[in-house]
A and B are shown apart, each in its own frame.
Chain A
Amino acid sequence: MCTDALPGRLHPALPMLSSLTIGQAHQKLRSKEITSEELTRACIAQIEKVDGTLNAVVHENFERALEQAKNVDAKGDYAHPLTGIPYLAKDVYCEEGVLTTASSNMLRNKDYIAPFDSTTTKRLKAVGAMSIGKVNTDEFTMGASTETSCFGVTKNPWDTNCVAGGSSGGSAAAVAADECLFALGTDTGGSIRQPAGFCNITGIRPTYGRTSRFGVMSMASTLDTIGPMCKNIEDLAIVLEAIAGHDPLDGTTSHEAVPPYSKNLKTDVKGLKIGIPKEYFIPGMNQEVEGAVREAAKVLENLGATLHEISLPHTEYATPCYYVLCPCEVSSNMARYDGVRYGHTVTQPKDLLEYYERVRSEGFGPEVKRRIMIGTYALSAGYFDAFYRQAQRVRTLIKQDFEKAFEQVDIILSPVSPTPAFEVGKNSSDPLAMYLEDIFLSSQVMAGIPALSVPCGFSKNGLPIGLQLMGPQWGEQTILSAAHAYERSTEWHKKKPVIA
């Protein structure tokens, strides 16, 4: 692989190319100041420099990406803002001819190579963006720290004793460490927003059905969403615009028109009504997180928005609701991993039943087994109504909380996580403690609404703090524009980690 990367004709004083935002790189590509190949080589060089420390990248796709970059350069048409832009995809996005393993021994041992593309990577390919590899995730996206990955934990670029978050922790660390220009994540119960908050980058969970789930390995089908993770809000808007919209291969995607998010960003927030839910600011919460988030609200107020205390009364039930619906759907979705059509295999089983049991017991790690068993129990005869049906009804109440709130306010503001990034190993022996990482992130999932994470400060130990903005269903533009106004007045998103 080539590491003679950084091309001689660049001025040595120029910042590292891989640290550019999509918007900046696009300008330089159009003006022929740089080539896509140079940009791609810069990302590869950065991966080779820092990934030994971080462990974000789990599969490299460098040769193919360079070939695609050369083709893009040969054409020389950089009209689309993503043409010639290198990115990393979470290890659950299928790409034809490329390793995709969900960071699980179930697929790793057989080295699953997808025979087709996910709709999202296909759309990105069509506009000339290149996937340079796959990034780490909790096994089959089940976790909040990447500690359940068969490839081991991804370290936080801001403090390598801490986790990068999860499940899209590899995506977040890679973007924060400039190993790519942007990354793809998935958010089922907070898996884009929490790692984005932990690593000082931006990430959006779109409305359920705004982006296609086709070709992305499913965890919980009524909750899964796919979305981008970027260096700023403008980039988030650019990528979302390119991947959103109806897909005949995912029946839950909407025909609702996709607005030109990135063009509409520069509206101001004068008169924007922002709800502050009292249930998200509780006695005993982390003071640094509360301080940074209240300060961010003040910034928006100074820009002309108005703040309103609101109530979302069923907030406390959202996480338990999630941990019923999610494992039930997991137990069903994971049934496909039986060692027949793909994945792990064993030799000389006595019969088919033994084959299934041995394949699944060797292939799945403990968190996947826990969720499969909780789901199997909750869906078994006699328990269905008490668990799954009851959770679906509580889901309705949580959704109604938001519908009522959005009659009074335009967007809702809260912290992303109750604390900054935690230390590696702190929660890994207590599954329930890990589940409570999601307390501010589950309600939006239940309501199917969009929510994003944007950097809003640092703890005194130098760990990033994330601000969460939520909008009504299909209201991505409103939260992106508000976050962009916030970004224009603050510098947090520009801060970069020094990787030890």
Chain B
Amino acid sequence: MAQLTPDQVRHIAKLARLRLSDEEVAKFAPELTSILGYIEMLQKVDTTKVEATAQVTGQQNSLRDDVVWDGLASRDALLGTSALPIVDHQIQTSSAHG
């Protein structure tokens, strides 16, 4: 059974853009290990020649007419939900490079 170490938990958290305290790492490592142990039972199922299901009702390529429409909310209304400064109808974030 997969045993997640604290370092692996920190690595996964980093990939997921989460910052965990040492207490959280200590709590999550055994919890995630037990969940992974549980879902590992799927490996027992023989799925050779079984197709994967992604769209369960078989719906395919749902397209609409290629017509421009206004959308449900104005651009400014959408910008209005941001907590960050708005400059020239754009959201200003911190620099990606510090």
**Residue ranges of A at the interface with B (Cβ–Cβ < 8 Å):** 96, 110, 112-117, 207-209, 222, 248, 251-252, 254, 314, 316-317, 320-321, 323-324, 331, 335, 338-345, 349-358, 360-361, 364, 366, 369-370, 372-374, 376-378, 380, 386-387, 389-397, 399, 431-432, 435, 446-448, 473
Q: Within the assembled complex, what's the spacing in Å between the Cα atoms of A335 and B9?
A: 18
B18 with A252: CB separation less than 8 A: no
B50-85 residues with Cβ-Cβ distance < 8 A to A are: 50-57, 59, 62, 64, 72-74, 77-78, 80-84
- Asked if B1 is at the interface (CB within 8 A of a chain A CB), the reply is no
Q: Find chain A residues with CB under 8 A from B73 CB.
A: 96, 115-116
A222 with B13: CB separation less than 8 A: no
Residue of B nearest to A431 (CB): B31
A360 with B18: CB separation less than 8 A: yes
A392 with B52: CB separation less than 8 A: yes
B57 with A208: CB separation less than 8 A: yes
Query: A321-B42, A340-B91, A345-B84 are contacts. A395–B53 as well, Cβ < 8 Å?
Result: yes
Q: Find chain A residues with CB under 8 A from B89 CB.
A: none
B43 with A351: CB separation less than 8 A: no
Closest Cβ of chain A to B60, distance in Å, is 10
Q: Within the assembled complex, what's the spacing in Å between the Cα atoms of A151 and B62?
A: 38
- Asked if B87 is at the interface (CB within 8 A of a chain A CB), the reply is no
B81 with A222: CB separation less than 8 A: no
Q: Find chain B residues with CB under 8 A from A364 CB.
A: 18
Partner of B52, one of A366, A369, A396, A432: A396
Q: A207-B57, A361-B19, A369-B20 are in contact. List 4 more A-B contacts (CB 8 A).
A: A350-B94, A380-B12, A392-B52, A394-B47
Partner of B57, one of A343, A386, A473: A473
Query: A351-B95, A352-B96, A432-B35 are contacts. A317–B28 as well, Cβ < 8 Å?
Result: no
B interface bracket (residues with beta carbon within 8 Å of A)? 35 or more
Q: Within the assembled complex, what's the spacing in Å between the Cα atoms of A335 and B16?
A: 8
B32 with A373: CB separation less than 8 A: yes
Closest Cβ of chain B to A110, distance in Å, is 5
Partner of A392, one of B9, B12, B20, B53: B53
Residue of A nearest to B4 (CB): A377
Q: Find chain A residues with CB under 8 A from B13 CB.
A: 369, 373
Q: Within the assembled complex, what's the spacing in Å between the Cα atoms of A397 and B59?
A: 19
Query: A320-B41, A397-B47, A435-B38 are contacts. A209–B59 as well, Cβ < 8 Å?
Result: yes
Q: Within the assembled complex, what's the spacing in Å between the Cα atoms of A349 and B17?
A: 14
Query: A113-B81, A338-B17 are contacts. A448–B56 as well, Cβ < 8 Å?
Result: yes
Q: Within the assembled complex, what's the spacing in Å between the Cα atoms of A447 and B58?
A: 11
A110 with B31: CB separation less than 8 A: no
Q: Find chain B residues with CB under 8 A from A380 CB.
A: 12, 15
A-B contact pairs, 15 of them (CB 8 A): A116-B72, A316-B41, A340-B93, A345-B83, A360-B17, A360-B19, A366-B27, A369-B20, A370-B32, A373-B18, A376-B12, A378-B39, A393-B52, A399-B53, A432-B31
Closest Cβ of chain A to B6, distance in Å, is 13
B50 with A372: CB separation less than 8 A: no
Q: Within the assembled complex, what's the spacing in Å between the Cα atoms of A361 and B98?
A: 20
Q: Find chain A residues with CB under 8 A from B96 CB.
A: 351-353
Q: Within the assembled complex, what's the spacing in Å between the Cα atoms of A355 and B92?
A: 12
Closest Cβ of chain A to B31, distance in Å, is 6
B98 with A399: CB separation less than 8 A: no
Closest Cβ of chain A to B70, distance in Å, is 12
